[in-house]
């Protein structure tokens, strides 16, 4: 079994009681069956507390004022403190690690929803690289399309290479990988996987990105056109379930800051924002794109929807940047990295930790005008 992680993976340290946004509040934490059995059999005074603080019907921890029943006042976990690390359920043991399983390989990343993981992901100045090691043990898969998986892996390697090519603006790099995912999807739909190698060769030929850069220029839209597109993309949040209690208020404030003054005010804000953008902003966007592409793209082996995985990366990156822009407009002195960490981890908490939300987004990506290739290229490049 091959285990792959981003190079910063082992640098992660949970800051527990010092965390400004503990992961033990606001979410329903579901207990896996093996841990549930341990809790059922735990004896003594703490056993009584376990029995009284779990919703046994749906196997989740009870919450008081949206905080886990075991989260102490100093933001530490009482299960860990009283019963030890081995008594944590799988979710609490793994978080903020995100695991994707494939035949013969496991990919482990850190979730952007944890503030300290977000600091590593976004604070990384150099291009991320991935480390692979071998470990004993294989999972059996009945129905795994290994041929599609290798094509997706090859495509993802090239996409990450393009995203990390700092000779080009991040907008051009994002446009290029979106177009590549679009072309790849056509081959998947037509069951022409044999022609994927030729497609990838075309995108990595010398001068291919220069040519593409010129072509992509035609998709630029004005600040006012972007206003309408962004409003539609922001509307997607209204279709999602809310996970954290403070999200609706945060989102409403950001939305009003961006759109309430109308198209011209939006275009002016965007212009001033872009004037202040530093090279470091491009690195934040690159890291977000690489994060989403690495985490989700190869999952298309299970549903054949590679293009939608790329749309998730592009739309998420644009929306996070837009949330940062709204915050910047409110307080133009916000430190850059902190602003991205704040917007990025809030977004990831709402979107990435709900299968319902991820599925709804994929449906919107298929159905909505704002998610057609030309529309998304327009938003990316403007
Ligand atoms: S959000 Fe991250 S840093 Fe904060 S308590 Fe959870 S795992 Fe630790």
**pLDDT digits over 63-120, tens only?**
998 889 999 988 889 999 999 999 999 999 999 999 999 999 999 999 999 999 999 9
Q: What is the DSSP string of 308-353?
A: HHHHHHHHHHHHHHHHHHHHHHH-TT--HHHHHHHHHHHHHHHHTT
> What confidence score (pLDDT) does residue 19 get?
85
What's the pLDDT band for 331 if we cut at 50, 70, 90? Answer: low
For ligand 1, atom 6, which residue shows the shortest CA distance? 23
Bond prior to 44 in cis (omega within 30° of 0): no
Per-residue pLDDT, averaged over 139-150, amounts to 87
Structure tokens belonging to residue 289: 């794109």
Per-residue pLDDT, averaged over 212-223, amounts to 88
Ligand 1 centroid to residue 7 C-alpha, Å = 20
Q: Are 111 and 97 in contact (CB under 8 A)?
A: yes
Q: Which atom of ligand 1 is nearest to the CA of 23?
A: 6
> What confidence score (pLDDT) does residue 333 get?
66
Q: What is the DSSP letter of 71?
A: B
Ligand 1 centroid to residue 192 C-alpha, Å = 44
26 lines ligand 1 (CB under 6 A): no
What's the pLDDT band for 336 if we cut at 50, 70, 90? Answer: confident
Helix (H) / strand (E) containing 39: helix 33-41
Cα torsion 160, 161, 162, 167: sign: positive
Ligand 1 centroid to residue 22 C-alpha, Å = 5
For ligand 1, atom 8, which residue shows the shortest CA distance? 14
> What confidence score (pLDDT) does residue 169 get?
94
115 lines ligand 1 (CB under 6 A): yes
For ligand 1, atom 2, which residue shows the shortest CA distance? 114
- Distance (Å, whole) CA 106 – CA 104: 7
Judged against a pLDDT cut of 80, whether residue 221 lies above it is answered with yes
Neighbours of 50 (CB within 10 A): 24
16 lines ligand 1 (CB under 6 A): yes
For ligand 1, mutation pick of 12, 17, 22, 25 (most atoms within 8 Å of CB): 22
Distances (CA, A) of 263 to 22, 226, 326: 38, 9, 14
> What confidence score (pLDDT) does residue 74 get?
86
At which residue do the structure tokens 């319902």 appear? Answer: 356
Report the predicted TM-score, pTM, of the whole model to 2 decimal places. Answer: 0.93
Judged against a pLDDT cut of 90, whether residue 373 lies above it is answered with yes
């Amino acid at each position: 079994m091959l285990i792959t992680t981003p190079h910063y993976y082992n640098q992660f340290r949970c800051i527990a009681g010092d965390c400004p946004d503990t992961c033990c509040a606001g979410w329903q934490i579901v207990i896996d069956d093996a841990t549930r059995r341990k809790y059922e059999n735990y004896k003594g005074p703490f056993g009584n507390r376990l029995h009284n603080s779990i919703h046994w019907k749906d196997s989740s921890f009870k919450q008081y004022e949206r905080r886990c029943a075991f989260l102490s006042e100093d933001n530490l976990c009482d299960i860990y403190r009283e019963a030890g690390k081995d008594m944590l359920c799988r979710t609490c043991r793994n978080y903020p690690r995100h695991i994707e399983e494939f035949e013969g390989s496991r990919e482990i990343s850190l979730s952007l929803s944890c503030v300290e993981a977000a600091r590593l992901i976004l604070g990384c100045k150099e291009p991320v690289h991935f480390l692979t090691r071998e470990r004993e043990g294989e999972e059996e898969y009945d129905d795994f399309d290994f041929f599609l998986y290798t094509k997706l892996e090859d495509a993802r390697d090239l996409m990450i290479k393009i995203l990390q090519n700092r000779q080009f603006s991040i907008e051009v790099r994002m446009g290029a990988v979106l177009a590549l995912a679009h072309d790849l999807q056509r081959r998947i739909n037509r069951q022409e996987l044999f022609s994927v190698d030729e497609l990838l060769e075309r995108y990595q030929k010398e001068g291919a990105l220069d040519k593409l850069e010129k072509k992509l220029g035609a998709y630029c839209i004005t600040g006012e056109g972007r206003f309408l597109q962004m409003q539609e993309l922001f509307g997607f949040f209204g279709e999602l379930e809310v996970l954290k209690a403070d999200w609706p208020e945060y989102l409403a404030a950001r939305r009003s800051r961006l759109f309430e003054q109308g198209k011209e005010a939006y275009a002016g804000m965007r212009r001033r924002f872009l004037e202040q953008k530093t090279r470091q902003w491009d690195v934040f966007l690159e890291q977000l794109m690489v994060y989403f592409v690495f985490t989700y793209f190869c999952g298309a082996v299970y549903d054949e929807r590679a293009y939608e995985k790329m749309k998730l990366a592009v739309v998420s990156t644009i929306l996070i940047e837009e949330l940062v822009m709204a915050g910047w407009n409110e307080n133009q002195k916000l430190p850059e990295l902190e602003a991205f960490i704040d917007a990025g981890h809030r977004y990831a908490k709402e979107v990435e930790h709900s299968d319902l939300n991820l599925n709804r987004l994929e449906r919107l990506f298929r159905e909505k005008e704002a998610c057609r290739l030309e529309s998304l290229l327009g938003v990316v490049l403007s």
